[in-house]
Amino acid sequence: MKEVELKMLERAKELLTSGEVARVIGWKKGDFCHDPSPASFETVEELNDFVYDWFCGANLSKYLIQMSKKEGKTAVFLKPCDTYSFNQLVKEHRIKRENMYVIAVECLGKLDVEKMKAKGASMIEGVDVQDEKVTVHTLYGDQEMEKSEVLLVKCETCNKTHQAKDEEIILHERQPKDVNRLAEVEALEAMTEAERFAFWKEQLSKCIRCNACRNVCPACSCIKCVFDNPASGISAKANDSEFEEQMFHIIRAFHVAGRCTDCGECSRVCPQNIPLHLLNRKFIKDIDTLYGEFQAGETTEGKTPLTSYTEEDTEPNDVFNGEAK
Amino acid sequence: MLKIAKERLNELYAAIAEAQALVLPLKKAGEVNYGAWAEGVEVSLETLKTVKSPKDMFFPQSENMMKFKTEGKNIEIIDVRGEKTPTVLFGVKACDYKAIEVLDKVFLADPVDTYYQSRREATTIVTLACSKPEESCFCKAFGIDATNPMGDVTTWIDEAYLYWQANTEKGESLTAVVSALLQEGGEAEVAAQQEKTTAILEKLPFSNLDLSRFTPENLNELFNDSAWEEMSEACLGCGTCTFVCPTCQCFDIRDFKTNEGVVRYRCWDSCMYSDFTLMAHGNSRTTQMQRFRQRFMHKLVYYPSQNDGLYSCVGCGRCVNKCPQRLNIVKVIKTLGGKKND
Ligand code: SF4
Ligand code: SF4
Ligand code: SF4
Ligand code: SF4
């Protein structure tokens, strides 16, 4: 990981020094080894804080909406999953592609510090990753963990590859994972209606309506969200009744259907760890079943299942009656 | 001092719950939040940071304030407050207890917020000392002693026992309710634990943050500091930091038309939200930098200048752990707080 970081740093310096770009978007060091923040770097000095490590899970694509409007070119480091969001935003005319310079960077999965803490690690000072093993260095000594158990949820099933790049920094090839990202959705589908309702009720009633899931989502790029608009009649800042949250989440899931790239940011940021990705993956699965395999964000052009109509399309009524083709 | 064996805690909960409502940290759907005790729930006393703080118990995320009924030209105002159920709030950590003092200064100052007051008065608070503080805790920086929280009753927990010490009249009455379950003893064990924990607290990375620059005299200088721009750059404008914070106290009030007339309702608001401070003329804060600055200036400068220097951050570390972008008050303190942070 260190070699990758050094290569990235070297490129960032070159690009800024030569004036090819006005700024570089990446991650900067935090107070611990596990809390880097997304950041933009405009000078070589600012790059002193640059970092790329096992905790750079944040998706940088959404910043580009603001950044691509600034003077000059913006270089950005994108992980495989981030490039899907990038393409989707270009397709929706939210990012000006010609103002961007995409450096595809390797990702062998990012780690979730909360999962490490849940396994008893306290006062974490650093991590070392060797293939599938993670050594967590703490003030109280080292702790060994399986990498698969401390990955971010979005990384557990990720088999994504870069879909956008102007150049790449990839030093280690990644082996495809033999996992079914829809397994959890299938498990939910297998439940009875009552069980499924109970599952979501328990999960969604934890929601504190902080809107982090919405604000981080690259598919949620409305300038003014209907839930923030006092004139909309449904603007809301709190969970009004115990389960009112279903409205917010279901409306949001519908709104991003067909555009959600399964980047997994919503589940990553939720302070209550609500498995929001399951709502989106249900839509992804249904779109695949009803209209044929489709992955949002693979391209920046072309029609999508929910924005094109053919006479063969499944009728809503057939879906409702369970008779869809 | 009194004590009860750990494996008998369920009996203690049951005895309290028989007399009053009992609210304590519960694990539900994988996360620990305060909730009402009932037979079979999973209590998680040791969890340092419940996702939401206990402030909900006095200042719920949303509540109805009153109802209006109109008939012809008459408006009837219906009081929905009612009597509050006597409640025991159990397992409150030192930082969260201090946060209640911060809230009291806002809600119990003239004009008194009667919604808050009635819940506050109906509640007996049982605190729990920490013995395993973690890296994001920095209560010590605000002069809070995690090993000796106050409250109506203070408790400590170790491998074998929960130790119990009543501090107030309310605390004594609660002790009377459960006295059959408690036995004498524990002073030595508690003192030993406190000593050990104090040593850990010393070593925490943020325990000695320098706050010296946050004074009313520096208000303008801090407000105009150019560092806010960079510090807030990655802020999403979500409400996570405000909604998990035990001291954030802002709310919004709206009227809704319902089948039973108009309901006036209030809910938590966040200074990080784009419609916060929206007025008829527009919004006085138009950028996320201004909103971000407001949150931290309020905690570290505005509130203390109106409350004899009391900061309205208690160092619970929730925003440190939960901000999706890893921005937080510690980064602000380190950037602006004082020379010793360098
Ligand atoms: S809904 Fe979630 S997974 Fe889908 S694009 Fe938005 S943040 Fe990513
Ligand atoms: S991030 Fe989680 S808690 Fe916040 S609004 Fe979304 S689902 Fe609710
Ligand atoms: S500081 Fe973090 S938690 Fe607070 S509003 Fe900004 S992004 Fe959200
Ligand atoms: S500002 Fe952060 S650390 Fe301070 S009391 Fe609020 S949540 Fe806790």
Q: What is the pLDDT of residue A230?
A: 80
Same domain, B167 and B298: no
3-state DSSP helix/strand/coil % of chain A, to nearest 5: 40, 15, 45
Of the candidates B203, B227, B245, which is a domain's last residue? B203
Contact A215/B at CB under 8 A: yes
Q: Is the pLDDT of residue A325 over 90?
A: no
Contact B151, B97 (CB under 8 A): yes
Of the candidates B168, B203, B238, which is a domain's last residue? B203
Between CA B324 and CA B292, with CA B341 as vertex, the angle to 5 degrees is 35
Neighboring chain A residues of B273 at a CB cutoff of 8 Å: 211, 228, 237
Same domain, B192 and B123: yes
Does B66 map to a domain?
no
Residues contacting residue A295 through CB under 8 Å, at least 6 positions apart: A84, A261
Burial tier of A233 (Cβ tally within 10 Å: 0-12, 13-18, 19+): exposed
- Residue A117, SS3 per DSSP: helix
Question: Residues 182..221 of B with a Cβ closer than 8 Å to A: which?
Answer: 203, 205-206
Q: Which residue of A has its CA nearest to B132?
A: A122
Q: What is the pLDDT of residue A3?
A: 94
- Domain count for chain B, please give it: 2
Neighboring chain B residues of A209 at a CB cutoff of 8 Å: 61, 239, 243
Contacts 24+ apart (CB under 8 A), A42-47: A42/A16, A43/A16, A44/A13, A44/A16, A44/A17, A47/A9, A47/A12, A47/A13, A47/A16
Closest partner CB to A35 (pick from B31, B252, B326): B326
Same domain, B331 and B228: yes
Of the candidates B145, B178, B203, which is a domain's last residue? B203
Host domain of residue B22 = 2-60+84-203
Neighboring chain B residues of A212 at a CB cutoff of 8 Å: 236, 238-240, 324
Same domain, B150 and B24: yes
pLDDT digits (tens, 9 = 90+) for A68-109: 889 999 999 999 999 999 999 999 999 999 999 999 999 999
pLDDT digits (tens, 9 = 90+) for A112-140: 999 999 999 988 999 999 999 999 999 88
B237, B302, B297, B177: which is closest to A63 by C-alpha?
A: B237
Same domain, B322 and B248: yes
Same domain, B145 and B234: no
Q: What is the pLDDT of residue B234?
A: 93
Residue B236 beta carbon below 6 angstroms from any ligand 3 atom: yes
Atom of ligand 2 nearest to the CA of A214: 6
Does B15 map to a domain?
yes
Q: Is the ipTM of this complex over 0.90?
A: yes
Does B67 map to a domain?
no
Contact A24, A75 (CB under 8 A): yes
Same domain, B155 and B303: no
Does B13 map to a domain?
yes
Burial tier of A101 (Cβ tally within 10 Å: 0-12, 13-18, 19+): middle
Q: Which residue of B has its CA nearest to A204?
A: B29
Same domain, B103 and B53: yes
Same domain, B21 and B148: yes
pLDDT digits (tens, 9 = 90+) for A205-262: 899 999 999 999 999 999 889 888 888 877 778 766 666 666 789 889 999 999 999 9
Same domain, B18 and B53: yes
What average pLDDT values come out for chain B (342 residues) when binned by 10 residues?
Answer: 97 96 97 96 96 96 92 92 93 98 97 96 98 94 97 97 98 97 97 97 93 95 96 95 97 87 92 89 92 97 96 97 94 89 75
Same domain, B165 and B296: no
Residue B240 beta carbon below 6 angstroms from any ligand 3 atom: yes
Q: What is the pLDDT of residue A240?
A: 61
Strand B62-71 with B87-92, pairing: unpaired
Same domain, B238 and B199: no
